[in-house]
Amino acid sequence: MLAILLAHALAALAAPAAVRVMGRNAFYPLALVPLASLVWVMAGWNETQQVSYAWAPTIDLSLQLRFDSLATVMSALVLGIGALVLAYCARYFTDDEPKLGSFAAWLVAFAGAMFGLVTSDNMLLLFIFWEITTVLSFLLVGHNSDSAAGRRAALQALLVTGAGGLAMLVGIVVLGQSYGSYLLSDLLAAPEVPDGIAVQVALVLVLVGALSKSAIVPLHFWLPGAMAAPTPVSAYLHAAAMVKAGVYLIARLAPAFADEPVWRPLILTLGLASMLLAGLRAMQVTDLKLLLAFGTVSQLGFLVMMVGLGTPDAALAGIGLLVAHALFKACLFLVVGIIDHGAGTRDIGELSGLGRRAPVLLATSVLAALSMAGIPPLWGFVAKESALAAELAADPPLSGTGKWLLLAGVVLGSMLTVAYSARFVWGAFADKRAIRVPDWHAPGPAFIAAPALLALGSLGAGLAAPWMDGLLAPYAATLPGELTAHLQLWHGLNLPLLLSVVVVAGGALLFVRRDRFGESATLLGNADRGYDAALRAMDRLSLRMTGSVQRGSLPLTQAVILGTLVILPAVVLAVGTRTGVELRLWDRPMQLVIGAIMIAMALGATVLRNRLASVLAVGLTGYGCGVIFALHGAPDLALTQFLVETLTLVVFVLVLRAFPAEIGPEQQAGFQIGRAAIAIAAGITVPVLAAFATAARSTEPIWERIPAAAYEFGGGKNAVNVLLVDMRAWDTLGEISVLVVAATGVASLVFRSRRFGLPPRAADAPNYRPGKVSWLPAGRLVDRRERSMVLQITTRLVFPTIMVLSVYFFFSGHNAPGGGFAGGLIAGLALVLRYLAGGQYELGEALPVDAGRLLGAGLILAAGTATVSLLLGAPPLYSVIVEATVPLLGHIKLVTSLFFDLGVYLIVVGLVLDVLRSLGARLDDELVQS
């Protein structure tokens, strides 16, 4: 299973390059990946297999996959239809299709993500794959980014299914905590469901996620809108794969939760509403893809009813319907793509006579439509008749009036299915006298092969119904109760057969009276307008909230933040315990002296009129904090504090060049008691909270274990650095990701037009004269009035030393003070020195590298360490220690977290380069122009 996931990931990475080399024909070798995976699935059909890989063993988080009967069926559909759709793409697209390589990568990745979803045993892992499919769906639906309809459909699908996924995540967490396990196998094996309202609420939240993914009323409207996607996307995601994820989750949980009070009322009511309302809309629309889309919503409602009913017979019928729907609906979507290509339209009102001109395509469509309508001997008939029989036999859980109302609704919904199946074939292929026959480009054999195979699959499965029963029955047997039904083509003369006759006759009558349906909107159509109204309401609410708390006043914003910091902890402390607090003002007199200096500098910064003096005063408070760190035996923290404070001062100075040196009388604010009160209260709150937090400890402090753990697990003696690059590497990865995003945002605001680019070099300067010799390559380009020969000579001498020191701190950081962050800051300060001595052109001479590339390379290197750790047999971002004896160098000890630290180093250097280019060189240009 892991090999299949890895194969799809590698194929997705290779897809863009393959498309560049082979053009659209690259889809053929890409299709071999899911096809080969399908062979593995078929070889191990209904064999239960499990894979467990420790991801974060200290918190019992593991990558656990489980391959059982239900996962087998879903995997076969995902991989088999995925291979056919990829092969279909090779003839659907042209070589000049924009972003075709990216499209191929996303489609292959989607197949792998769906396989991961249906084989995940850990619910948290399932959620990760669930959201990956959501993001990939957004990218695939929005493939044509130039289309406003495509962009809107992609965003709508992302918002609806993403919101449902977040609700599902809350439900997963509650279920996991209630059961004491996040494994689906443990939930299904539990003897009983835990009591309490929490589990019921969690079930509702999980069902919200499942129903939104499967486009069930009232969260259905995103699916018809997603028809703006290319046809292969509609055939795969919206017929065979993504929309089946919700059905799969309901089927997976039904054995354990079908008897819970919230389960059947929610699923059966919404499922029946979807089946009827969407079936009605399918009789109204004239676009063939929209007709199939509303038909998909209708049949998804039927599917969730059957798999959620909770009896073995209904489960067998439901899984049979799932297979039938994937075969005939994927086939019909692919047929629509061929019609759209060949005729240039897919509107029923513009198509005529295609049946005579494309007999093979007509035969393919008829087979699939017969299966969709439930006509023998197609597989759709076998599954639908079994569904009717399962509902009749479902007593309990269904009984009385509710049972017959549900059965009547299903019969009426099935009539609509017959009607719009006939309407599809008639609309696409019939001769219509009033309509001009469109130009037609006949499809080649390779183009029609995929839908033809799917249509033949529907016929073959119906004829081999007993064999299919043997493949699908093992899942149905997992539900409580006795499995009495069997999937077969002929059950004799019985009530389900009579109902099937009624369905076909009623559907034929509805098709004959199809003009009576009209184009009027229904409740289903209004849901899309409701979505727009909800977005507008949220926009208005956000504007009002932002207008009330974000008025553009920095003092007001700070007052709200600091006020919250003061008030909330004060209230909590007032009602909570206040015992055991000890406060020691100082350990040695030097701390008192430094503290007094820091207080004096902080007060001085509030009254100084010179901006530079204020900045220096604030900087001294930071240096004082670093000295206190050093006095407490934390040289690593002290070093970092000094470096950060120095770099911060440089940034302030760069920005202050655009401001007057003194604060003018009109900008001065007198003493304000409110601001002073907030400042004093915030200053008191922080140490008070620290004192209470320290007093709250009831067990051994974790810091006592960190030094030993750092050396044992991380292979380093510097506990601070090992924490950052090993024990807390995930936190650090998140922090540097935020840092990269912030740097990109700030620089984008400054540059406005173009975000990245190589820094200009001396030869790019307008006053550059080749052949001139100076201490720095761009030194002579600095105006004589601002040029300092002493600074240039000093920079020339100390710059190499500083860079060597930077590299030293980088390599020594694992066992001594330093590390990637400190080394990067030192390298950044060296760049600052070159910039101050030689200007913006000297910066290009010092490091002629795009800052964006440095940031990206650092982030990729840090994140890539997770993969390297996996390949070396360790959990992601855990250190792997490699020791060897190398000639000349002797005994070498290499820790893989060094590469993570290198990523941090590059990000810090890239950030400094960005700051110097945006707040330095860019500001230089602005000042010169002004």
Helix (H, G, I), strand (E, B) or coil at 52: strand
Cβ(297)–Cβ(210) below 8 Å: no
**Rounded Cα gap, residues 841 and 805, in angstroms:** 24
Cβ(660)–Cβ(612) below 8 Å: no
E strand or H helix at 696, and its extent? none
Confidence of residue 634 (pLDDT cuts 50, 70, 90): confident
**Rounded Cα gap, residues 321 and 930, in angstroms:** 72
Cβ(37)–Cβ(131) below 8 Å: no
Site of tokens 């974790």: 702
List the single range of 77-81, 331-335, 341-345, 773-777 with lowest mean pLDDT: 773-777
The one-letter code for the residue type at 389 is A
List the single range of 365-379, 522-536, 597-611, 612-626 with lowest mean pLDDT: 522-536
Q: How far from 376 is each of 314, 413, 501, 624, 691, CA to CA, in Å?
A: 20, 18, 11, 85, 78
Write down the pLDDT at residue 228.
85
User: Regarding predicted confidence, which is higher, 432 or 460?
Assistant: 460
Q: Which two tokens stand for residue 703?
A: 């810091």
Whether residue 753 has pLDDT greater than 50: no
**Rounded Cα gap, residues 153 and 46, in angstroms:** 38
Angle 520-525-530 (CA atoms, 0-180°, nearest 5)?
A: 130
Write down the pLDDT at residue 843.
80
Whether residue 838 has pLDDT greater than 70: yes
List the single range of 265-279, 452-466, 773-787 with lowest mean pLDDT: 773-787
Nearest to 130 by CA among 154, 151, 113: 113
The pTM for the full model equals 0.76
pLDDT tens digits, 398-439: 777 888 899 999 999 999 999 999 999 999 898 888 787 778
Determine how β-strand 890-895 pairs with β-strand 881-886.
antiparallel
**Rounded Cα gap, residues 491 and 513, in angstroms:** 32
pLDDT tens digits, 709-724: 888 877 888 888 888 8
DSSP of 15-33, one letter per residue?
HHHHHHHHGGGGHHHHHHH
**Rounded Cα gap, residues 452 and 88, in angstroms:** 11
pLDDT tens digits, 517-552: 765 445 444 667 777 788 888 888 888 887 777 777
Write down the pLDDT at residue 848.
85
Query: Which residues contact residue 730 at a Cβ distance below 8 angstroms, ignoring those fewer than 6 apart?
Result: 877
User: Regarding predicted confidence, which is higher, 588 or 367?
Assistant: 367
Write down the pLDDT at residue 465.
92
pLDDT tens digits, 681-692: 988 888 888 888
Cβ(663)–Cβ(611) below 8 Å: yes
pLDDT tens digits, 893-912: 778 888 888 999 999 998 88
User: Regarding predicted confidence, which is higher, 138 or 63?
Assistant: 138
Nearest to 895 by CA among 834, 814, 840: 814
DSSP 764: G
Whether residue 163 has pLDDT greater than 50: yes
Nearest to 825 by CA among 915, 896, 730: 915
β partners of residue 885: 891
Q: Which two tokens stand for residue 299?
A: 């049949």
**Rounded Cα gap, residues 27 and 252, in angstroms:** 33
Cβ(374)–Cβ(382) below 8 Å: no
Distance of CA 89 to the CA centre of its chain: 25
Q: How far from 434 is each of 350, 353, 354, CA to CA, in Å?
A: 10, 11, 15
Confidence of residue 928 (pLDDT cuts 50, 70, 90): very low
**What's the whole-number mean pLDDT along residues 318-334?**
94
